[in-house]
Structure 1
């Protein structure tokens, strides 16, 4: 078996599957979010696998497939009183969304009657059946299926059931990576700003200063996620990301004292760029734009337009903060830090 070719085919299948739905946003998800999230979770889980002595190949395959049925999830299902409906394991249930197109994944989904299943369960069934089409060893297929199934953790696990569900370190790692990505670090900040801005604009206005000053409430609420991660390497990685967000807030709140310069050259300008591109944000495309177009343009402006020495110094400091932010965000997205 040519593993690189198989992995490429799995990536293509996942990306193709995500594109079968015509809707863009549902709740806190949007069209391009799911693919970018998948790739970041895979990269982080592979790095954690190296640190924890796990099977990196297994994590690469399971990470690729773990959210393959996520786009079936519609709005939260509610009861007659408007309260969210939960499974016995404590998972939110979603109204199902029907894809506009069909492929092998949707065929398997229908064949195995996965409608109404939470996506970790339906995704595990799809994983098992898709991998069986290739020359993977049966034990590998079984392990990958278990890793995908374990990437969501029931809220009411007994100690005995916890040991059964997370008996392999890879099961723990994918859960940790999937929990970290939307909640802590610059990847979590990216998701937060796009969620907050989208709904603020729906209401009519995004208030930059108000958003920045209220960031600590969001950051502090995520510490619980860090503390409850399952592996030591995950907690260490996540705490580093949490600390970076705390530092990011301090930089941003300081920038509010020099709004004109920092909206043009600094982190405040980064926020305003994200807000301006909010309908269906593509993480990698926006990161590429900021790194290769937005930042070089500011450097050119600094060289050509800023004549006052004090303004030049403040603008250069702002550019340096942005440069550092983009470097760290890139490294986070690769699972390195």
Structure 2
């Protein structure tokens, strides 16, 4: 059976589904983030799957659909004491955000018809994914496998050994968990997310301070070691460790750039962050990286001609760092590093 046309239809359905909500930002998610994250996670799943000897077709479908109901998640509910409300499995309970009442598709219809409101998105997503795959007449064992992989991408805080084996006995489940965790928490893709989370919040208060943001990066980076330690595959831990080292090096470069702050705000990685922050409401990862490569970098190469020889040399080094940054970012998006 040729699965690729079905996979493409489901990718298009996923993108369509994410666009049915009018709201933009909720917590650490925004409209464009969810689709970009989905595609990056799929690429990483396929790369880790090759290394781990996994079923790549199951992984491709599970990764494409793993956040299919994520846009229903609103703010995390709290009790009268300000503590997060948990369900019987220890999951945080979110407010349910409904799509625009004038917009719907098969995903929202299945969600409504099966009374999935209030269900953790990994559970509701697994259910809907199975229904979608069944509608294509795909084999029952394939449908069940994809559903199980999706259900496992959010690890329940309370698991017996038997429940753990049921969820994570499949290497594909462990891979999706690792890819989903890493994309949001480790490496340049996580750095991009952190920039937009931090800057958006800062601008709602008293404005974004670029220098202070750089100074605080080590604290953010240090919180990610536990994520790497808790990844479930050897390949995932190897990739996670490399990404963590890359972020540590990134901080060192940014810290050095502050010694020539104005020059690097114009030509360097400081300028890249400044550009990212210029569009915080609904940033589109792919568009911003493309802009850096197609416009931002070429424009600064032209500016070099107007600089003194001493400044030109420093500025060229700064541009080179940005080129390397973009190359690593694209490599991470492909799942290869």
Name the TM-score, length of structure 1 as normaliser: 0.98
**Partner residue, 1:92:** 92
Partners in 2 of 1:230 and 1:159 — Cα distance? 15
| SS of corresponding position for 2:95 | strand
Structure 1 portions without partners, runs of 5+: none
Query: Is 1:12 equivalent to 2:12 in the alignment?
Result: yes
Structure 1 segments, 4+ long, off by >4 Å, are none
2:200 to 194, 198, 207: 198
Output aligned runs, 1:205-220, within 5 Å. Answer: 205-220=207-222
Which residue matches 2:158? 156
Aligned residue for 1:108? 110
Query: Which whole-Å CA distance do the structure 1 matches of 2:130 and 2:277 have between them?
Result: 40
1:166 paired residue among 158, 163, 168: 168
Judge which range, 100-109 or 82-91, deviates more. 82-91
- Map 1:1-150 → 2, pairs under 5 A: 1-100=1-100, 101-150=103-152
User: How far has the Cα of 1:2 moved from its partner?
Assistant: 3.9
Question: Per the alignment, in what secondary structure is the counterpart of residue 91 of structure 1?
Answer: coil
For the residues of structure 2 that align with 1:278 and 1:220, how far apart are their CA atoms? 25
Query: Structure 2: how far apart are the matches of 1:238 and 1:163?
Result: 23
Give the alignment partner of residue 186 of structure 2, picking from 181, 184, 187: 184
Cα distance in 2 between the residues matched to 1:86 and 1:273? 39
Q: CA RMSD in A?
A: 0.8
Alignment partners' CA distance in 1, 2:175 and 2:64? 14
Task: Tell me by how many angstroms 1:80 deviates.
Answer: 1.9
How far residue 165 of structure 1 moved from its aligned partner, in angstroms, is 1.0
Distance 1:106 1:206 in 2: 37
Deviations 1:91-136 (A, max 9, x none): 1111000100111001100111100000000000100000001132
1:232 counterpart (228, 231, 234): 234
2:315 aligns with 315
Question: Which deviations, in whole Å up to 9, do the C-alpha atoms of 1:172-224 show, x marking residues without a partner?
Answer: 00011011111000000000000000000111211111000110000000010
Post-superposition Cα deviations, 1:136-170, rounded to whole Å, max 9, x if no partner, equal 21110010000000001011222222111111000
How far did residue 6 of structure 1 move? 0.9
What are the superposed Cα offsets for residues 237-290 of structure 1, whole Å, 9 maximum, x if unpaired?
Answer: 011000000000000000000011100000000010011111100111111111
Unaligned runs of 5+ in 2: none
Give the number of aligned pairs. 335
1:266 aligned to which of 248, 265, 268: 268
- Normalising by structure 2, we get a TM-score of 0.98
Pairwise CA distance, 1:90? 1.9
Task: Give SS of 1:151's match.
Answer: coil
Q: Distance in 2 between matches of 1:135 and 1:330?
A: 36
> What does residue range 244-255 of structure 1 map to in structure 2 within 5 Å?
244-255=246-257
| Secondary structure at 1:95 match in 2 | strand
Give per-residue Cα distances to partners, 1:304-331, cap 9 Å, x unaligned. Answer: 211x221011000000100000000001
Map of 1:301 onto structure 2: 303
Q: 1: distance between equivalents of 2:137 and 2:39? A: 23
